[in-house]
Amino acid sequence: MNISPTNPTQNPLFQKIEKVRRRQRKVQDTHINLAHGSGGKAMRDLIDDIFLSNFDNPILSQLEDQASFNLTPLLQQGDRLAFTTDSYVVNPLFFPGSDIGELAVNGTVNDLAVSGAKPLYLTCSVILEEGLPVETLRRVAASMKVAAKKAGVQIVTGDTKVVHRGAADKLFINTAGIGIIPRGVSISAHNIRPRDSIIINGEIGNHGAAILIARGELALETNIESDCQSLHSLVETILHVCPQIHAMRDATRGGLATVLNEFALSSNVGIRLFEESIPVRAEVNGVCEILGLDPLYLANEGKLVVVVAGKYAETVLSAMKLHPAGKDACIIGEVIPSPPGIVLLKTLFGAERIVDMLVGDQLPRIC
């Protein structure tokens, strides 16, 4: 087999040889140092050993300054591009049920999915603090590999920077994502109308409570785990039975209350929640009662809020319950004409109170 002199990187034999070379370029250091961000051999070995070995795909393997892909197959899947970006600074890096790597992939995938898009490509940029154990970075990259495979996306380009000890906190990740929105799908908070129903796919507050416990600042022992998961498959199930979804959003920072306030303001409608219908684990409620927190404002990383015309609500709910990520789905509220821009909660005692937008931050560095 001859290697083309014009573009040898496209040749299969060249690619096989290069993969062998990459496996031989192992990072010998046990901890990250400034040379790993210098652009020289140490940085190249780090990229080859940790990132290329986990994220390897035909686009990434070209090692260009950008990822290029053919538009023709993309246009066959839809008529609009969805593009998002997010940064992850969660503390600690590893917590019950997940870690910063899985969180970075699933969080960006979910931001694409709630627009109705099929997630396709991600970027991965990392800021590393001098002194970070290399083994920690390996664990994070391996976790991202597994999460990306589950979500059916490819990590196609990225960047690595190293800062002096004390200039960051171990590891920060930025991911951007691209997806394709199918024709006929138009999901927006501006579509919400009175008599719409509000559905959530399960218990709220698990991620926020898990992070809080994992920090070890409280003498609490529970089995609460983060709900971190990819929601793209659940969204596909929902759109299959009802393409006319009005709005969708994942309830991350600020929790369910913040998402619903954003919805109410965007469409100038009121929203009424039913406290008895909102699923919250007893352990999460217990943590909130001890610390004076409200589970409505706790972060989630695998919860989807769906707003759909009331006449389609039971159809959508039934479909969600058949999916693993939606088996605990339930209708938790309704859209009302007034008061516009206000979220109300009908309590267990039959009274109503306003659920306002979160002021300040109940728990910083949650994602």
pTM of the predicted protein model: 0.92
The segment(s) of the chain belonging to CATH 3.30.1330.10 are 27-181
Please give the Cα distance from 157 to 33 (Å, whole number): 22
Which is it for the CA torsion 117, 123, 124, 127, positive or negative? negative
189-354, which class in CATH? alpha beta
Q: Could you please report the per-residue DSSP string of 131-200? A: T-BHHHHHHHHHHHHHHHHHHT-EEEEEEEEEE-TTSSSSEEEEEEEEEEEPTT----GGG--TTEEEEE
The segment(s) of the chain belonging to CATH 3.90.650.10 are 189-354
CATH fold for the domain made of 27-181: 60s Ribosomal Protein L30; Chain: A; (3.30.1330)
What are 347's two structure tokens? 């309590």
The tens-digit pLDDT sequence of the chain (367 residues) is 333 445 555 666 656 555 655 555 689 999 999 999 999 999 999 999 999 999 999 999 988 999 998 889 888 999 999 999 999 999 999 999 999 999 999 999 999 999 999 999 999 999 999 999 999 999 999 999 999 999 999 999 999 999 999 999 999 999 999 999 999 999 999 999 999 999 999 999 999 999 999 998 777 778 899 999 999 999 999 999 999 999 999 999 999 999 999 999 999 999 999 999 999 999 999 999 988 999 999 999 999 999 999 999 999 999 999 999 999 999 999 999 999 999 999 999 999 999 999 877 678 899 9
CB neighbours of residue 82 within 10 Å: 20
Please give the Cα distance from 306 to 68 (Å, whole number): 34
